[in-house]
Amino acid sequence: MRNVTPCPNWRELLSAYQDNNVSPKDRKRVAAHLQTCGDCRQALAQMDGDRDRFIDAYMAPAAKADLRDTVLAALRADAAIPAEQPQRKFPWDLLFHLGKAGAAVTLILLVAVFMGREPAGNLPATKNPSIFNEETDTTGDTTILLNTDQKLYQNSIADSYSEDGTVDAPDYLSPAKVYAARVNPDYGMNSYLYTVDGDGNLVTPSYGMIDDPGNALTLDQPKNRLYASNGNNPVMAYDALVSVKAKGSKIPSKPAGLKMAYDIDYRLQVKNALQKSRQAQGIITGLGGFTMNYQYVNNEHEPAVAAFNGKIPAEKAEAALAEIEKLGNVRGLTIAGEDLTGQFQSQREEIARQTEHAKKLDAIGSRSASKVAAGVEDQRHAAKGQVNAAKNALTGLTTRHELVTISAAFYEATPREPLTLARATAGTRHALNYALLLLVTIAVFFLVVGLVAAPFVGLRYWRRRRMAS
């Protein structure tokens, strides 16, 4: 039979028509086409013939197939024997692969950490700041910074002293009233010697060290004179009464008949220096005082410092000290007193003397005009100027006497971060470090899991290979 090819546009449709898989509309179209196209009619007939031959070729042998009993017997046997439940296998392979991934990530992270670690010794020093050291201010007054852990102990210093101010003989002061204070060496300070009065108040600073027996200070309490000696030779003498007190001590009572002025200097350790300084200034002004100046130093890698100077009525000084001491950890308190009695007296005498002098010059000036030409008038004005100057000085002394000078410095123990940006960078670095630590932890976990799984995976591969062989 000649192999007939259907019309190219009708191939698929003719095939579907033969399979009875066309829409009614297409069925009508194909039927109409078949009436007019002989080739397509023959092609369809060939397709029918091919289909029949194809089906016969396979269906004839299959007709004798009878699998029912075989299948059912197999299924019954399968049901009689409890079906082997598919065992949930532990995913050793998965763990092994996770372990490999964990090992790779761990290696990468360790390399990253090693490459990105900060060089050693680059961190800012965090040692105790040097606020405990002894300092000398620009006025020459000695500032003693007492540690609150200072130890007071009786020291039988009885150095050379004589009533006229020369140091020539020991045993002038009663040993019971002279003490030495040694600063706790744990704070890295030198063991300076201080003399303390019988009430426990440190009254003198010493530039000599305890280990140096040649240096010692002695105090003439009745005269408020202080002597330092180096062996048998006087080194220095102070005319002012210098009183240094520890935390909680009181302003020394003024000796009877003396016009005393006190300067109080605080050193406090706080967490926020600027904030505490402002609070202290509020305390001063709240008690009727005033602030003269203040400053705030905040250098990189150094503890921030805020300090101020002010005045406060003498009767309010004790209350101010009590309030300020609450603001932080008192590391030092210096109360320096000065006897103004003599200065008051000298200024009054100066006023009287210059006033009397001016009166005499007035009398001269009124009698003779020629005297005026001789400069008497100028001398009279000068004398009146001296009177006014002495009066101003007296006013100043009165102010010093009635107003206590109070200054306070607030220190932060921890050095400040250099810049806000650097602080933010440090915060980010910390966050990244924590994230890195978390990643390393996870990676190491998978690494361990992989190591555990590796023998099982290897065993399985070995079994498979043995079975395959």
Partner 1 sequence: MLTDEQIVRRVRQGDLDAYGELVERYQRRLVAAAHHLVGDEDAARDVVQETFIQAYRHLEQLRDAAKVGAWLYGILRHRAHSWLAARRPTVSWEDESVDEWFVAADPAERVDMTALLAGLPAADRDALAARYLMDLSYDEVAKALGTSPQNARVRVCRAKERLRNLLDRAEKEVGL
Count of all residues that appear for the chain in the document: 469
The DSSP-derived string for 108-152 is: HHHHHHHHHPPPTT-SPP-SPPGGGS-EE-TTS-EE----TT-EE
Comparing CB distances to partner 1, the nearer of 11 and 250 is 11
Cα gap 306→273, rounded to integer Å = 5
Residues 447, 101: Cα–Cα separation, whole Å: 8
Tokens of 256: 């009877």
88/367 with CB nearer partner 1? 88
User: Least distance in Å: CB of 75 to partner 1?
Assistant: 6
Smallest distance from the beta carbon of 22 to partner 1, in angstroms? 10
CA angle 143, 144, 146 (to 5 degrees): 150
Nearer to partner 1, 12 or 199 (CB): 12
CB of 86 vs partner 1, minimal distance in Å: 11
Q: State which residue, 66 or 211, has the beta carbon closest to partner 1.
A: 66
Minimum Å gap between C-beta 69 and partner 1 is 8
- CB of 51 vs partner 1, minimal distance in Å: 6
Query: Among all chains, which residue has been given the structure tokens 């101020």?
Result: 308
Q: CB of residue 93 vs partner 1: minimum separation in angstroms?
A: 23
Residue 287 DSSP symbol: T
Of residues 1 and 115, the one with the C-beta less far from partner 1: 1
Shorter beta-carbon distance to partner 1: residue 75 or 292: 75
Q: What residue ranges bind partner 1 (CB under 8 A)?
A: 1, 3, 11-12, 15-16, 18-19, 21, 46-47, 50-51, 53-59, 61-63, 65-72, 74-76, 78-79
- Name the minimum Å distance from CB 19 to partner 1: 6
Q: Measuring CA to CA, how many Å separate 357 from each of 326, 346, 352, 386?
A: 54, 16, 9, 10
- Largest pairwise CA distance in the chain: 174
**Tokens standing for 109?**
């992270």
Q: How far is the CB of 5 from partner 1 (least distance, A)?
A: 9
Phi, psi of 461 (to 5 degrees): -60, -40
Nearer to partner 1, 59 or 115 (CB): 59
- What is the C-alpha separation between 365 and 296, in angstroms, rounded? 58
Residue from 138, 160, 162, 134 nearest 147 by CA: 134
Q: Which residue, 56 or 315, is less far from partner 1 as judged by CB?
A: 56
Shortest distance, position 466 Cβ to partner 1, whole Å = 20
What one-character-per-residue DSSP string does 208-258 give?
SBTT-TTEEEEEETTTTEEEEEETTEEEEEE-S-EEE--TT--PPPPPTT-
Closest CA to 358 of 340, 381, 336: 381
Nearer to partner 1 by Cβ, of 77 and 125: the residue is: 77
For residues 143 and 132, what is the distance between their CA atoms, to the nearest angstrom?
A: 11
